[in-house]
Amino acid sequence: MKKTLQTCIIMGILLFSAFTVLMPSSSALKLQGNIKLEVGKISNERVSPNVGRLEIPLRIGYKISGLGAGIAYFANNDAKVQIDISNIPEWASVQVTPAKVAMAISETDYRYANATMVVTVNENAPALSSANIEVTLTADEIKGLGATVQKVTYGPERILFKPSYIPIIGYTIDNTLKEIAPGETADFDITLENLGNGKTEVILEITSDLPDGWIASVPSVVMLDSKTFEGEPTKDITLTVQPPYNFGYHNDEQVVRVKLAARYFADDGSLSVKEYPLEVTVKSRGFSTPGFEIAFVFIAMSLILLMSKKYKKQK
């Protein structure tokens, strides 16, 4: 009796196996694949142009459901999920590693696999503007004994990030050395250019400890638009230097130093500031007679009148 029972069980298993193998695909169980995506927390959603990289952890889950999911047999097959990225701004680059993940098949709990998305941006990324990257997950169809899990797609799910601000300015100057006569002023024409990715405020400060009689002036604040927002990134300013003008012969020379500090125009103190040095030299050569100019004019006019009268008498 015992041997007969064992024989029946073995025959039943063989018949069931043969039945499931030979069963037409149209008669196989149609099961549902289920995908979920968990985006890991990141310390800072901002990414610095050219030098920074934003790493975003991705956790992908998969399980099956449907009538007969608990008895479906898939041997050693795994669920394979493709990770696709779309809606990438032209100034950004995105890589996902690995691009395809695999996990065991379960109908009771989600099984998980991990991936990492890395975002980088270039210097054309508009500062502090929000951008969305879309993530789409696709699980391939899975065939088992008497059951098929249909292909399924999840998403797209949007992931937010922001390019950080980079303070970069350039400047050109007509000359860094000028020689003038006493009483004159040396004007240095400077063109400032915003090379960064956001509207920039440039703060200018004369840092030289000038001797008595020397005067230097420059605009204290200059606002520069950003080319990434289709603004005007350049502006012309003038650095004016006036040497002493006291009486006597002058052979003076002075180096004037200016500090340019570039920062975001709406900085709340959390963004970086970059400083740039500028240096010019002024030479003052010649004789000056301050206060005597009017006297010289009267003397000259008096001499002209005297000579005119003398000429008339002689005539």
Look at strands 274-288 and 46-47 and give their pairing.
Answer: unpaired
Query: Which residue range is the domain that position 159 belongs to?
Result: 28-163
Residues 186 and 262 in one domain: yes
Q: Which residues have a Cβ under 8 Å from the Cβ of 10 and sit 6 or more positions away?
A: none
Residues 42 and 139 in one domain: yes
Does 7 reside within a domain?
A: no
Does 52 reside within a domain?
A: yes
Least confident of 112-116, 121-125, 244-248: 244-248
* CATH code for the domain of 210: 2.60.40.2310
Residues 38 and 156 in one domain: yes
Does 12 reside within a domain?
A: no
Contact between residue 214 and residue 241 where contact means Cβ atoms under 8 Å apart:
yes
Contact between residue 123 and residue 90 where contact means Cβ atoms under 8 Å apart:
no
pLDDT average, residue stretch 85-113: 94
pLDDT for the residue numbered 18: 44
- pLDDT at residue 47 is higher than 50: yes
Residues 147 and 115 in one domain: yes
- Average pLDDT value for the chain: 84
- pLDDT at residue 215 is higher than 80: yes
Does 250 reside within a domain?
A: yes
Contact between residue 162 and residue 89 where contact means Cβ atoms under 8 Å apart:
no
pLDDT average, residue stretch 50-59: 92
Residue 124 is given by DSSP the state: T
Whether the model clears a pTM of 0.85, i.e. scores above it, the answer is: no
pLDDT for the residue numbered 113: 96
Beta bridge partners of 50: none
Does 115 reside within a domain?
A: yes
* CATH code for the domain of 53: 2.60.40
What does 57-86 look like in DSSP terms, one character per residue? EEEEEEEEESTTTTT-B-TT--EEEEEEEE
Does 262 reside within a domain?
A: yes
pLDDT-derived band at 303, boundaries 50, 70, 90: low
Residues 273 and 198 in one domain: yes
How many CB atoms are located within 10 Å of the residue 231 CB?
13
Residues 199 and 183 in one domain: yes
> How many domains, the chain?
2
Residues 159 and 208 in one domain: no
